[in-house]
Structure 1
Amino acid sequence: MAREITKIGVIGLGTMGAGIVEVCARSGFEVVGIEMDAEAVERGREHLETSTSRAVSRGKMTEEDQKALLDRVTTSDDLAALAECGLVVEAVPEQIELKREVFGKLDDIVAEDAILATNTSSLSVTDIATATRHPSRVIGLHFFNPAPVQKLVEIIATVITAPDVLEDVRALAGRLGKEPVVVGDQAGFIANRLLLAYLNRAVAMYENKYASREDIDAAMVLGCGLPMGPLALLDLIGLDVVYAVLDTIYKEGRDKLHAPAPMLKHMISAGLLGRKTGRGFYTYEGKGSGKVVDDASTPKASLDGASLRPIGKVGVAGSGTMAMGIVEVFAKAGYDTTFVARSEAKAEAALAKLAKSLDKGVQRGKLSQEARDEALGHVIASHSLDDLSDVDIVVEAIAEELDIKQAMFENLDEICKSGAILATTTSSLPVIQVAMATNRPGDVIGMHFFNPAQVMKLVEVVTTVSTSADVVDTVTDLCGKIGKRAVNCADRSGFIVNSLLFPYLNDAIKMLEAHYATTDDIDLAMKAGCGYPMGPFELLDTVGLDVSLAIEKELYLEFRERGFAPAPLLEHLVKAGYLGRKTRRGFRTYA
């Protein structure tokens, strides 16, 4: 028979603890909040009042509801006040000995059938549970910050958690309006294990001066639709918090990808913890502020026009979906653009598709009829590469195979005029290997658009060791003129987005492979817990498992990092022909 829980205790009234109190009180429970002393109790009460007052000012709660909520909450600095609670949630700092001490004291205070839950984000729930005389009633109940807003809770059942405790807590999560995922006791659980490894890689990327902090963050926001860039998110969470969780995960699994990047430790030693100290990867207006201010690392003023090559005519090699998206982008920006297809029939078909795309823009009110006609008037369809002889820049957008691209660049080298820029849209192949197929590698650059090119604002501008500085400046400037945000990076497999995204996707597959969680729970954890627009398996099926495997192989060959080796499950699905949505079966089956 399920427990009738009417009163909930929360130990620790910091930001997270006060948020949990609010969640429980909003759902009609009586709540007892506990802190170590009267001053800390008062601060916790202020957290709660500030949060609920903000909800009132935004029209999400009435003043009457706020008063009723606050009336359901009592606070104390005495653990004995928890005696009548059917559930106690511990939310003290992430220190194992402190948590064990708290749980050890609760045995003599609460009833024997009361449930004890820890909000730990990474520590062993089993280790915490063994501090009590009744470890079977201990469970992990990991809320996400801010608790009143975030829908996800991770429920962590240990090997000794009683089944009825698990079921009662799962039911309670529903009453709190949360979406629960149930997992085993593994450091980091789902969300933090996947998220923090990705954040750690972003730190390493910045530490190695591969790209600026602004470009790394912009790439992941614009390229993946994430709510925040990784370095900005680290500042929000707190570098010390992230380091502690990563260290815990690393000590459990000894996976190098979870070993905290050295830069994190150095910044923590210097007191650069993020927003809470006013400085982390970025500098803020003050302690606790989210407003970024300029500092010594802020990018300087725009490019000097004198160093730019003139761009009047544009060529696009290819007539597929990506190629025609790029053609549309340039044509809308007023550039005369010639695209080359493999045959006259393919050229005509591609031109018809372009016209249809522009027509849809008119129908949706995003484009006037005059602008549609003007854009189409800038486009010339061809099936001969020789028609690119007078363009100022060629953007290659053909098959993602090195030998095919190299053959194309050999031809472009012979056909295009001196000084023309030759750009490849490769998403993972080494740009330098494409450049060396020409006699002018200084004119070759990567210009990686994202699909659909007409919509996505990001372009990764990839510089090789041979690319001329004026070519980099010209392409960066050109991106701005066609309405794109350029991010600059060096010629390394995966560039910014794919080198951060695909190891994360690979980690998710390994988690599934280990039977730690289901595809649905992993996807839910990353969407509801981290604000991702798609879960990893939704994204893999959309991108295509074959494409994903090819990129992961490239990353592994480049970095030779054991953790980057493609998960065997991914390889098996590709061999079976289960490639995702395009074959109606991947990690999920589609109608």
Structure 2
Amino acid sequence: MARDFTKVGVVGLGTMGAGIVEVFARNGIEVVGVEADEPALQRGRQHLRTSTDRALARGKLTDAESAALHARVHYTTDLADLADCPLVLEAVPEHLDLKKELFAKLDGIVADDAILATNTSSLSVTEIAVATMNPKRVVGMHFFNPAQVLQFVEVIKTVVTSDEVFEKVQALAERLGKKPVVVGDKAGFIANALLFGYLNHAVSMFEGRYATREDIDDAMRLGCGYPMGPLALMDLIGLDTAYEVLDTMYRQGRDRLHAPSPILKQMVSAGLKGRKTGRGFYTYAGPGLSQVVGDALTPKAEPVDAAALRPVAKVGVVGSGTMATGIAEVFARAGYDVTYVARADAKVERVRAAVTRSLEKAVQRGKATEADRDAALSHLSGTTRLDDLADVDLVVEAVVEDLKVKQVLFENLDEICKPGTILATTTSSLPVIECAAGTKRPQDVVGMHFFNPAPVMRLVEVVHTVSTADDVVATVQDLCTRIGKHPVTCGDRAGFIVNALLFPYLNDAVKMLEANYASAQDIDTAMKTGCGLPMGPFELLDVVGLDVSLAIERQLYLEFREPGWAPAPLLEHLVTAGYLGRKTGRGFNTYG
């Protein structure tokens, strides 16, 4: 059982290795830490000291606990000092030959019943195991960075790993306060297999100049609640490490979406490896530092030329659903006169009642005053007549996600609205140009994709078509800032930024489940506790709605014709069966 592990060895004391040492030592286990030479050993010692000093400063460790922790760690450059360790875990660089050579040496040093574990994030544990005389005792034990903080551990069982070995390692992970999941030996395992496809796609998006690095990262942080944007995360992981992981995944699975984006190899060759070298997608204050400093790609903070913008005082909102209601509230609270259009008097009243209820909640929570509430309501008027939008400066449509319905609406708005009025669609996936083409003023049509719930979510994707006028884009960007939103700007492609990055990742998760590699619960656990995401992919799919998700995935596949983005058959079957997620009580999970 796990209690047998009173002493363990850790080979490699970089950021990850030192973090693993700390995890073991915090839990009362003696650790022998090994590095290649004395300077590397001192760096490893400093990694551990820096981490524990930070924990001391935050009150998470006492002086006595810190002293006891360090007393449990013994440093050496001699692998022979691992001879009496019942478990040795390696955390050396991600190079297969290096790991195989190390395991062959360890095989002749440790006892016959000792367990050899690798912290590889993507390499074949089986290939590492066969470098030893006894591959049955080799197992993967993949911690996530920072190991001291993140709870998830992937325990990788090869086709030859003995049941006793992986059970002991699983029990040890639980003793360490981690959430272990046992998986088979497949490149990337759960978390990296899903994470790195998403990261690679973000790199391609940047490489193709579809959006700026800041807008890509802000979109995923603000639109999905991710702790970091994908390009900032790549810098943290290290571009050389990311390249190795992707290359390994591609060579094993031959999935084109895992082929490293060409710019990655170019940046690694140029020494731009991320935070550790002081420069990657961003530039940092120095090697190993997290502070981002300005560089040639940093957006210039230039004052807005009001004369170059179109005046916006009156706003129209078309629709009566949750999104339309939220958008009407956002503009009214920002002091704009809002005329919203619903299809029936009852729906007009329902929108006003919903906005009133939302504003009242804000008052009760201290997020607005009664005067704020009354002022917002005074700016709000409802109607059933599109003709009442004749004098507005901006119209935002939030009707059903049906292209034909939107096209007819834009034809009507083109005839009704005065010249110069900006016509915006909040579609999440349909082509904005298809809406613009039905008007005689395509230069005035733009995407203004709010996120649900609109009063809460700060992100707005500002989507320009090939026809959108520059002053329209600039006006909408400025307007977003004025209503308290954060605009990101991109071209008119299916999914824009957020959905184009999010839904292929969700689809990959469904395919992983479909292949019986891991359960929905284990995959959700991996992405929440291993990658720090607010929701696992299956939780999120059930919230979004499987039918909505399938429609977006079909739209992405139709536009890009990327075979890897074809909707997973399992998703198609669940939708056909009427299992649409929370709204029907059953999707990937069942709800009471």
Q: Following superposition of structure 1 onto structure 2, how do residues 96-495 of structure 1 map, counting pairs within 5 Å?
A: 96-300=96-300, 301-495=302-496
Task: Tell me the SS of whatever aligns to 2:564.
Answer: helix
In the alignment, the residues of structure 2 paired with residue 194 and residue 304 of structure 1 have an alpha-carbon distance, to the nearest angstrom, of 43
In the alignment, the residues of structure 1 paired with residue 44 and residue 471 of structure 2 have an alpha-carbon distance, to the nearest angstrom, of 56
Task: Tell me the SS of whatever aligns to 1:390.
Answer: coil
Whether the 8 Å contact between 1:506 and 1:566 is mirrored in structure 2 is yes
State the Cα distance separating 1:14 from its structure 2 match. Answer: 1.2
Whether the 8 Å contact between 1:541 and 1:581 is mirrored in structure 2 is yes
Whether the 8 Å contact between 1:33 and 1:75 is mirrored in structure 2 is yes
State the Cα distance separating 1:304 from its structure 2 match. Answer: 2.0
Whether the 8 Å contact between 1:210 and 1:490 is mirrored in structure 2 is yes
Amino acid of the residue matched to residue 266 of structure 2? Answer: H
Amino acid of the residue matched to residue 572 of structure 2? Answer: E
Gaps of 5+ in 1: none
Whether the 8 Å contact between 2:2 and 2:169 is mirrored in structure 1 is no
In the alignment, the residues of structure 1 paired with residue 285 and residue 107 of structure 2 have an alpha-carbon distance, to the nearest angstrom, of 46
State the Cα distance separating 1:3 from its structure 2 match. Answer: 7.1
4+ residue runs of structure 1 moved beyond 4 angstroms? none
Whether the 8 Å contact between 2:121 and 2:192 is mirrored in structure 1 is yes
Task: Tell me the SS of whatever aligns to 1:116.
Answer: strand
Gaps of 5+ in 2: none
In the alignment, the residues of structure 2 paired with residue 242 and residue 426 of structure 1 have an alpha-carbon distance, to the nearest angstrom, of 33
Amino acid of the residue matched to residue 269 of structure 2? Answer: S
Cα 1:302–1:243 shift into 2, 3 Å: farther
Alpha-carbon displacement from aligned partner over 1:62-97 (angstroms, at most 9, x marks no partner) = 111111111111111111111111111011111111
Whether the 8 Å contact between 1:511 and 1:517 is mirrored in structure 2 is yes
User: Percent identity among equivalent residues?
Assistant: 69
Alpha-carbon displacement from aligned partner over 1:421-479 (angstroms, at most 9, x marks no partner) = 00000000000001011111111000000000000000000000001111111111100
Q: Following superposition of structure 1 onto structure 2, how do residues 24-35 of structure 1 map, counting pairs within 5 Å?
A: 24-35=24-35
State the Cα distance separating 1:408 from its structure 2 match. Answer: 0.5
Corresponding residue for residue 41 of structure 1: 41
Alpha-carbon displacement from aligned partner over 1:184-238 (angstroms, at most 9, x marks no partner) = 0000111111111101000100111101111111000000000011111111111
Alpha-carbon displacement from aligned partner over 1:377-429 (angstroms, at most 9, x marks no partner) = 00001011011000000000000000000010011011111110000000000
Amino acid of the residue matched to residue 87 of structure 2? Answer: L
Task: Tell me the SS of whatever aligns to 1:585.
Answer: coil
Amino acid of the residue matched to residue 84 of structure 2? Answer: E
In the alignment, the residues of structure 2 paired with residue 321 and residue 197 of structure 1 have an alpha-carbon distance, to the nearest angstrom, of 32
State the Cα distance separating 1:303 from its structure 2 match. Answer: 3.2
Cα 1:399–1:193 shift into 2, 3 Å: same
RMSD of the TM alignment (CA)?
0.9
Corresponding residue for residue 506 of structure 2: 505
Task: Tell me the SS of whatever aligns to 2:391.
Answer: coil
In the alignment, the residues of structure 2 paired with residue 193 and residue 539 of structure 1 have an alpha-carbon distance, to the nearest angstrom, of 18
In the alignment, the residues of structure 2 paired with residue 278 and residue 40 of structure 1 have an alpha-carbon distance, to the nearest angstrom, of 19
Amino acid of the residue matched to residue 284 of structure 2? Answer: Y
Corresponding residue for residue 17 of structure 2: 17
Amino acid of the residue matched to residue 269 of structure 1? Answer: S
Amino acid of the residue matched to residue 415 of structure 2? Answer: E
State the Cα distance separating 1:2 from its structure 2 match. Answer: 6.8
Amino acid of the residue matched to residue 320 of structure 2? Answer: S
State the Cα distance separating 1:266 from its structure 2 match. Answer: 1.1
Amino acid of the residue matched to residue 523 of structure 1? Answer: D
Task: Tell me the SS of whatever aligns to 1:155.
Answer: strand
State the Cα distance separating 1:302 from its structure 2 match. Answer: 4.0
In the alignment, the residues of structure 1 paired with residue 298 and residue 275 of structure 2 have an alpha-carbon distance, to the nearest angstrom, of 17
Whether the 8 Å contact between 2:445 and 2:468 is mirrored in structure 1 is yes
Task: Tell me the SS of whatever aligns to 2:415.
Answer: helix
Whether the 8 Å contact between 1:395 and 1:423 is mirrored in structure 2 is yes
State the Cα distance separating 1:43 from its structure 2 match. Answer: 2.0
Q: Following superposition of structure 1 onto structure 2, how do residues 64-83 of structure 1 map, counting pairs within 5 Å?
A: 64-83=64-83
State the Cα distance separating 1:8 from its structure 2 match. Answer: 0.6
In the alignment, the residues of structure 1 paired with residue 267 and residue 215 of structure 2 have an alpha-carbon distance, to the nearest angstrom, of 20
In the alignment, the residues of structure 1 paired with residue 361 and residue 50 of structure 2 have an alpha-carbon distance, to the nearest angstrom, of 47
In the alignment, the residues of structure 2 paired with residue 160 and residue 20 of structure 1 have an alpha-carbon distance, to the nearest angstrom, of 25
Task: Tell me the SS of whatever aligns to 1:569.
Answer: helix
Corresponding residue for residue 575 of structure 1: 576
Q: Does 1:551 align with 2:552?
A: yes
In the alignment, the residues of structure 2 paired with residue 468 and residue 112 of structure 1 have an alpha-carbon distance, to the nearest angstrom, of 73
Alpha-carbon displacement from aligned partner over 1:514-571 (angstroms, at most 9, x marks no partner) = 1111111111111111110000000000000000000000000010000010000000
Q: Does 1:90 align with 2:90?
A: yes
Amino acid of the residue matched to residue 307 of structure 2? Answer: A
Corresponding residue for residue 586 of structure 1: 587
In the alignment, the residues of structure 2 paired with residue 302 and residue 221 of structure 1 have an alpha-carbon distance, to the nearest angstrom, of 26
Whether the 8 Å contact between 2:243 and 2:260 is mirrored in structure 1 is yes
Whether the 8 Å contact between 1:221 and 1:229 is mirrored in structure 2 is yes
Whether the 8 Å contact between 2:317 and 2:328 is mirrored in structure 1 is yes
In the alignment, the residues of structure 2 paired with residue 44 and residue 172 of structure 1 have an alpha-carbon distance, to the nearest angstrom, of 23
Corresponding residue for residue 527 of structure 2: 526
Task: Tell me the SS of whatever aligns to 1:478.
Answer: helix
Question: Which is further off, 279-288 or 549-558?
Answer: 279-288
Question: Which is further off, 404-413 or 101-110?
Answer: 101-110
Whether the 8 Å contact between 1:2 and 1:164 is mirrored in structure 2 is no
TM-score (norm 1): 0.99
